[in-house]
Amino acid sequence: MRRNKKPADDGAAAATIAPVATSGEVFSDGTTIDLIGVPGGNPRLMIWNGSKEIVGSLVEHDGRLYEPAPINSSVLQELSLPTRCRPHGSTREFLAETCKLLANFVGLEEKIAPLAGRIVLCTSIIDAVPVAPALMIVGPDTLRANRLVALLRCLCRHALPLTGVTPAGLCSLPSGVRFTYLISQTTMSDKLRLLLGQASNRDCRIPSRGRLLDLFGVQVIHSDSVLAGEPWPHRSIQISMIPTGRELPHLDLDTQSQILSDFQPRLLSFRRANLGTARKMQFDASQFSFALQDLAHSFAAATPDDTKLQSELCDLLQEKGKEIQSETWIEMNCVLLAAIVVAGTEAPGEVVYVAELAEIAQEILRRRGERDGKIDAGVFGKRLKLLGFSTEPRDARGKKLRLTDAVLNRARLIAREFGDLEVADARPVNATQSKEI
């Protein structure tokens, strides 16, 4: 009797044999795979295990084959890719050279160039940071602004210049490439601003047409809308392009091509040398306000092997801290905390009703220059709970809060985290903070 042979599991075999399409990988053993540009052709992959590199259309790691992810030719034509790898020197030397290029060709100020330089380095270790920083370019000097975008195209990893960007257009780009988005356009819709904010989080995936997109990457935004509407996120650094009258060196296409071909191979070397350290880095961001901690951590990760460069961040981000403090001056949570401190200073240890706190907050808001905002007592009570304050049982007049030393200390502590230093440092309470709230 003839027996039928058991059919082979073609699906399992294909899953084992079929190459994995990738634009870059970081493995737990420290091995990396990166896209390598080929003049006039499709990119290849470079695999590096710490001592040996292999370049090819197919590379293998731990029994799996990898091939370059399909990227439209129009995107490849504009994408900045290294063609090889060569030594970058020390982190300090490489950052200094990056800042020098930004200062010489664009005329960036002394305190701005080191921040922009760190953003360039951050693009190379983007896989190590949970939140991608952004660079906002504003001001009337469009010549220098366009120069900066052109130079960043040469310096940043996977830089992709874009204009006329819409949410649908952004979602049509290849997923997981870790682009550095160089967006230059006059206006930006609220939906695009929201999408860019979502794309700044490494572990967030964006649903689009039945698939999940990984659009994580550093963003450089040159747009008039940066100055309009709601403030851009605290993860951003703003550069104001004001005419200086200074004569700058030529940055023609030949110069740009020379900078790109020289800098990109060393940026790849920097990535190899520092990505593993950046992924394991422990950085104490508690010295920064809560709103600045993500940005500070990203900048610290850009120089993971140099603690002295990390220590410079306090001074470099001082102006950003003041900017955030100004923005939070009328932010509702800060006004709420200020109301608690005011009430507790006038009647320490007493009970205050939530409706009374709302009235105090309304007056604080008015004195801070916001005359149109209206504070609802019910919403105010919910915010109290979200911030960790426990109200006492409701009576005929509503919910109430006892203004203990612990409550006032907590209000000041949270105010400091939000960047409202006037409230945080106002007449500290001489009592233990360990008391239960």
For 288-320, write each residue's pLDDT tens digit.
877 788 889 999 999 999 999 999 998 888 776
Asked if the structure places residue 85 within a domain, the reply is no
**345 and 419 belong to one structural domain:** yes
Asked if the structure places residue 135 within a domain, the reply is yes
Asked if the structure places residue 433 within a domain, the reply is no
Reply yes or no on whether the pLDDT at 329 is more than 80.
Answer: no
**316 and 342 belong to one structural domain:** no
Q: What percent of the chain has pLDDT over 90?
A: 55
**253 and 286 belong to one structural domain:** yes
How far is residue 61's CA from residue 134's CA, in Å, rounded to a whole number? 33
Which tens digit of pLDDT belongs to each residue from 382-418? Answer: 888 878 888 888 888 888 899 999 999 888 887 776 6
**218 and 302 belong to one structural domain:** yes
Which helix H or strand E contains 423, and what residues bound it? helix 421-424
Which tens digit of pLDDT belongs to each residue from 423-433? Answer: 655 554 443 33
Contacts of 225 (CB under 8 A, 6+ apart): 186, 187, 188, 193
How far is residue 100's CA from residue 94's CA, in Å, rounded to a whole number? 10
Reply yes or no on whether the pLDDT at 434 is more than 70.
Answer: no
Asked if the structure places residue 382 within a domain, the reply is yes
Q: Of 109-118, 266-275, 319-328, 357-366, where does mean pLDDT reach its minimum?
A: 319-328
- Whole-number pLDDT of residue 8: 47
**Average pLDDT value over all residues in the chain:** 86
Q: Which CATH number belongs to the domain containing residue 420 in this structure?
A: 1.10.10.10
- Whole-number pLDDT of residue 371: 61
Banded model confidence at residue 233, pLDDT cuts 50, 70, 90: low
Q: Tokens for 53?
A: 């590199």
Reply yes or no on whether the pLDDT at 72 is more than 80.
Answer: yes
Q: Are 159 and 152 in contact (CB under 8 A)?
A: yes
**304 and 362 belong to one structural domain:** no
Banded model confidence at residue 264, pLDDT cuts 50, 70, 90: very high
**289 and 338 belong to one structural domain:** no
Instruction: Give the domain-ending residue among 324, 355, 377.
Output: 324
- Whole-number pLDDT of residue 14: 43
How far is residue 149's CA from residue 80's CA, in Å, rounded to a whole number? 13
Banded model confidence at residue 321, pLDDT cuts 50, 70, 90: low
The SS3 of residue 296 is helix
What is 124-171 written as a DSSP string? HTGGG-SB--EEEEESS-HHHHHHHHHHHHHHSTTEEEE-S--HHHHH
Q: What percent of the chain has pLDDT over 70?
A: 86
**415 and 387 belong to one structural domain:** yes
Q: Which domain holds residue 37?
A: 15-70
- Whole-number pLDDT of residue 235: 81
Instruction: Give the domain-ending residue among 292, 324, 356.
Output: 324
**380 and 276 belong to one structural domain:** no
β-bridge mates for residue 213, sequence order? 206
Banded model confidence at residue 63, pLDDT cuts 50, 70, 90: very high
**167 and 256 belong to one structural domain:** yes
Reply yes or no on whether the pLDDT at 231 is more than 60.
Answer: no
**236 and 110 belong to one structural domain:** yes
Angle among Cα 365, 368, 371 to the nearest 5 degrees reads 55
Reply yes or no on whether the pLDDT at 126 is more than 90.
Answer: yes
Banded model confidence at residue 346, pLDDT cuts 50, 70, 90: confident
Reply yes or no on whether the pLDDT at 5 is more than 80.
Answer: no
Q: Are 94 and 262 in contact (CB under 8 A)?
A: no
How far is residue 355's CA from residue 348's CA, in Å, rounded to a whole number? 18
Banded model confidence at residue 324, pLDDT cuts 50, 70, 90: low
Asked if the structure places residue 100 within a domain, the reply is yes
Contacts of 132 (CB under 8 A, 6+ apart): 122, 126, 199, 200, 201, 202, 216, 217, 218, 219, 235, 298
- Whole-number pLDDT of residue 146: 95
**209 and 244 belong to one structural domain:** yes
- From 215, 228, 227, select the one nearest 160 (Cα to Cα): 215
Helix 91-106 / helix 113-124 crossing angle, nearest 10 deg: 120
Asked if the structure places residue 81 within a domain, the reply is no
The SS3 of residue 402 is strand
Average pLDDT of the residues in 223-242: 71
Q: Which CATH number belongs to the domain containing residue 221 in this structure?
A: 3.40.50
Looking at the structure of the chain, the number of domains it has is 3
Asked if the structure places residue 36 within a domain, the reply is yes
**61 and 106 belong to one structural domain:** no
Instruction: Give the domain-ending residue among 290, 324, 358.
Output: 324
Average pLDDT of the residues in 134-149: 92
More confident residue, 57 or 384: 57
- Sign of the CA dihedral 270, 271, 274, 278? positive
How far is residue 155's CA from residue 94's CA, in Å, rounded to a whole number? 12
Asked if the structure places residue 261 within a domain, the reply is yes
- Write down the pTM of the prediction: 0.77
Reply yes or no on whether the pLDDT at 277 is more than 50.
Answer: yes
- Whole-number pLDDT of residue 114: 95
Q: Are 223 and 119 in contact (CB under 8 A)?
A: no
